[in-house]
Structure 1
Amino acid sequence: MTLPMRGIKVVDLSTLLPGPMCTLFMAEAGADVVKIERPVGGDEMRSYVPKLGADSVNFGLLNRGKRSVAIDLKSEAGREAALALIARADVLVEQFRPGVMDRLGLGYETVAEKNPRLVYCSITGYGQTGPKSEVAAHDLNYLAESGMLALSAGSDGAPVLPPALIADIAGGAYPAIMNILFALRQRDQTEQGCRLDISMADNLFTLMYWALGNGESGYGWPKPGRELVTGGTARYQIYRAADGRYLAAAPLEEKFWQNFTRVIGAPELATADGLDPAVKERVAALIESEPSNVWVERFADVDACTVRIVGLDEAVKDPHFVQRGLFNRKVRMPGGAIMTALPVPVADAFRAADVVRDSPALGGGEPRFEHDV
């Protein structure tokens, strides 16, 4: 099988989550990814807990199939070694604050002189330009300043901490890999590389397309707990059952809503306005009258878009996901321990057949690509 990224050489200067996830996608599709790390400690993610052997499981999940090279970028010898690698690379991914790569002597203009075909991808919180470009921040801060966090509220009206690192992944890693692939395709046509400026905060606005549409149309800027997907309707809601577990109900379309109201024993609500607070209260009372397992049985063969909320420990055992092979691939950590690999959105047709791949030991490789002579 010919992997789509085979022959593509990637220098990974990123740490923690967004960049490493982006280069993981490329490694899974056959790219040769060389991860440059600090000689002492390496990527900070290595030190996180929990650990499996010397490294954190987080590091192993994000760096499967790559090779690590320990280089001190602040030394002249280290800079020259990095430049030698970059001169032969197709893609560079970095995640420093704006200006740091220039100060290291590895800025785009410098390396593009040596390698004009290079796709140089910079991932930052607020982008390379603008008043906030050098502000220190994390995922939660980007959510807060983009307006996304304000749309998520608990029963007391306060914003709720999201359970996923949305900006890092949906605002950073995913746009980065997408634009890298666009740039490589453009290079096929022009023979020229380019600089990519990936802002995690910028890319959050894409995820709020409906909210922007509401505001721009004059319908009104959305509020938490009031809109179609923020808790304002009985048709898109979380309901507590008698056993303390919860149902996720999303019967938005008429046919689903009719089925839903019939199953809960209130067919008269089929024509009711889901935005009416009284309707939400009625539905909530009916759901809370029975334990969740009863509702699971009643909705089992009905198209009503209603399911029980399960924990991650239950989800990974779901026969559907197991049958689809999401958790078949493995990571071998330094020292030999093996764990389940991170499921990634790379089609099986584009991935190597080897099920077990290594997470690299710090500095375990040479500063070269696999097929360098």
Structure 2
Amino acid sequence: MAGPLSGVRLVEMDAIGPVPLAGMLLSGLGADIVRVGRPGQGAWADVGAAVLHRGRSHVALDLKQAADRDRLLDLLDHADGLIEGSRPGVMERLGLCPDVCLARNPRLVYGRVTGWGQTGPLAQAAGHDINYIALTGALHAMGDKGGRPFVPLNLVGDYAGGTMFLALGMVSAILSARATGIGQVVDAAMVDGVANLMSLFQAFLSTGQWRDERGVNLLDGSAPFYRCYACADGGYVAVGALEPQFFAKLLAGLDLDPADFVQNEKACWPEMERRFATVFAARTRDHWEAHFADTDACVTPVLSMREAVGHPANTARHMFVRHNDVDQAAPAPRLSATPGAIEPSIAIDMDAAIARWS
């Protein structure tokens, strides 16, 4: 199998949320993953399997049956790690807790991802992405001044705070286990991950460079040179001209006199925004994309998901691939000597899985 994680063997407990994306990413980087699901189609089978389940083998086990639990433990004897996303206590009730699994395989890395973490007063509470980013201060910072917070899909909590920190924790702990022979538990809580993602803004807040409210800060859409504008055809452009040299390019492209606009003087921002909006609204989105194409004004079209697949910059980079008849992201990040790839997804029985790893 191609990729920098070639030779790494992981068991993925079928789940929704961060776990299947972590499995997808790690398999794309070469990890050999066996996904364990209940008899039947399993989680996400009806909505996301063509993308989220790509690149790994699947076995069906009824973990309420002792024989099937024993077979899973047999497989874990040969694994580098396990990833699961159940509510705390579920794996314990099945007899598959970290203590049991590490007793069988002391080098095993046991990865657990939840919203609130394995411990704490909310550990047993239900929640979703919106709740996790709400309690960390991230959601409060997103939205217009005086308006309600904007929900940033489930990218921030589930995937940035959950999947990415789980994957980082797994790779880090596997490296440690290979050096020391000692496995461990990775407790990846989405709230912990999001809190870390907010580090820049916490630093700004501590130095007075950030106000703890929506719609009044440099990077929250309130700055006229860092926001989106409507165009004549109903499309939008995204403007990110933060640095002075890029701001100058933006003004030149909009045919506006630099003497009329002091970039970081907030008292000027309302008029600046009005002028920018008027100019952008006079032309189509495609016009502005072409107009700014050879400049450093940091102006790009806001593409739909379908448009993004066919955009020339993305196709030139082969950012998207067609797999299982669905357009989806190619494996990332890209490595020069050990590039990742999408391997076939196949259903196998447990005997075949154990034999492959033995």
TM over 0.5: yes
2:262: which partner in 1? 271
Aligned pairs for 1:256-335 (under 5 A) are 256-267=246-257, 268-273=259-264, 275=266, 276-328=269-321, 330-331=323-324
Contact 1:64 1:360 in 2 (8 A): no
Specify whether residues 262 and 178 from structure 1 end up closer, same or farther in structure 2 by C-alpha distance, changes over 3 A only: same
Q: Is 2:193 aligned against 1:208?
A: no
1:62-93 per-residue CA deviation (whole Å, 9 max, x = no partner) reads: 12121111111112112111111112211111
1:339 Cα offset (Å): 3.5
Q: Is 2:334 aligned against 1:350?
A: no
Specify whether residues 264 and 35 from structure 1 end up closer, same or farther in structure 2 by C-alpha distance, changes over 3 A only: same
Specify whether residues 190 and 237 from structure 1 end up closer, same or farther in structure 2 by C-alpha distance, changes over 3 A only: same
Contact 1:235 1:249 in 2 (8 A): yes
Contiguous gaps of at least 5 residues in structure 1: 49-57, 332-337
1:96 Cα offset (Å): 0.8
1:351 Cα offset (Å): 4.0
Provide the C-alpha distance between the structure 2 equivalents of 1:126 and 1:234, rounded to a whole number of angstroms.
36
| Segment drifting more, 290-299 vs 8-17 | 290-299
Instruction: Supply the AA of the counterpart residue of 1:202.
Output: D
Contact 1:224 1:231 in 2 (8 A): no
Provide the C-alpha distance between the structure 1 equivalents of 2:280 and 2:328, rounded to a whole number of angstroms.
38
Contact 2:233 2:284 in 1 (8 A): yes
Match of 1:150 among 118, 140, 150: 140
Give the 3-state SS of the residue equivalent to 1:101 in structure 2: helix
Q: Is 2:76 aligned against 1:90?
A: no
Provide the C-alpha distance between the structure 2 equivalents of 1:201 and 1:347, rounded to a whole number of angstroms.
28
Provide the C-alpha distance between the structure 2 equivalents of 1:220 and 1:347, rounded to a whole number of angstroms.
35
Provide the C-alpha distance between the structure 1 equivalents of 2:292 and 2:4, rounded to a whole number of angstroms.
42
Pairwise CA RMSD: 2.3
| Segment drifting more, 272-281 vs 304-313 | 272-281
Q: Is 2:173 aligned against 1:183?
A: yes
Contiguous gaps of at least 5 residues in structure 2: none
Instruction: Supply the AA of the counterpart residue of 1:371.
Output: R
Instruction: Supply the AA of the counterpart residue of 1:34.
Output: V
1:116-164 per-residue CA deviation (whole Å, 9 max, x = no partner) reads: 0001100111111111111111112112222222222258712223234
1:226-284 per-residue CA deviation (whole Å, 9 max, x = no partner) reads: 10011221121111223322121111111111111122121223534453322222222
Specify whether residues 213 and 301 from structure 1 end up closer, same or farther in structure 2 by C-alpha distance, changes over 3 A only: same
Specify whether residues 299 and 7 from structure 1 end up closer, same or farther in structure 2 by C-alpha distance, changes over 3 A only: closer
Specify whether residues 330 and 351 from structure 1 end up closer, same or farther in structure 2 by C-alpha distance, changes over 3 A only: farther
1:53: which partner in 2? none
Specify whether residues 365 and 319 from structure 1 end up closer, same or farther in structure 2 by C-alpha distance, changes over 3 A only: farther
1:170 Cα offset (Å): 0.6
2:44: which partner in 1? 45
2:356: which partner in 1? 371
1:8: which partner in 2? 8
Specify whether residues 325 and 272 from structure 1 end up closer, same or farther in structure 2 by C-alpha distance, changes over 3 A only: closer
1:369 Cα offset (Å): 3.8
Provide the C-alpha distance between the structure 2 equivalents of 1:286 and 1:4, rounded to a whole number of angstroms.
48
Give the 3-state SS of the residue equivalent to 2:131 in structure 1: helix
Provide the C-alpha distance between the structure 2 equivalents of 1:125 and 1:163, rounded to a whole number of angstroms.
16
Provide the C-alpha distance between the structure 2 equivalents of 1:219 and 1:307, rounded to a whole number of angstroms.
27
Contact 2:14 2:43 in 1 (8 A): no
1:16-44 per-residue CA deviation (whole Å, 9 max, x = no partner) reads: 231122122222233221111111x3422
Contact 2:29 2:332 in 1 (8 A): no
Provide the C-alpha distance between the structure 2 equivalents of 1:304 and 1:224, rounded to a whole number of angstroms.
26
Give the 3-state SS of the residue equivalent to 1:65 in structure 2: coil
Instruction: Supply the AA of the counterpart residue of 1:350.
Output: T
Contact 1:24 1:63 in 2 (8 A): yes
Count of aligned pairs between the two proteins: 353
1:287 Cα offset (Å): 2.1
Give the 3-state SS of the residue equivalent to 2:124 in structure 1: coil
1:103: which partner in 2? 93
1:60: which partner in 2? 50
Contact 2:129 2:154 in 1 (8 A): no
1:304-339 per-residue CA deviation (whole Å, 9 max, x = no partner) reads: 0012212121111011211222234623xxxxxx44
Provide the C-alpha distance between the structure 2 equivalents of 1:265 and 1:320, rounded to a whole number of angstroms.
26
Specify whether residues 220 and 299 from structure 1 end up closer, same or farther in structure 2 by C-alpha distance, changes over 3 A only: closer
1:182 Cα offset (Å): 0.9
Specify whether residues 65 and 165 from structure 1 end up closer, same or farther in structure 2 by C-alpha distance, changes over 3 A only: same
Provide the C-alpha distance between the structure 2 equivalents of 1:220 and 1:152, rounded to a whole number of angstroms.
13
Contact 1:248 1:308 in 2 (8 A): yes
Identical amino acids, percent of aligned pairs: 31
Specify whether residues 105 and 314 from structure 1 end up closer, same or farther in structure 2 by C-alpha distance, changes over 3 A only: same
Give the 3-state SS of the residue equivalent to 2:64 in structure 1: coil
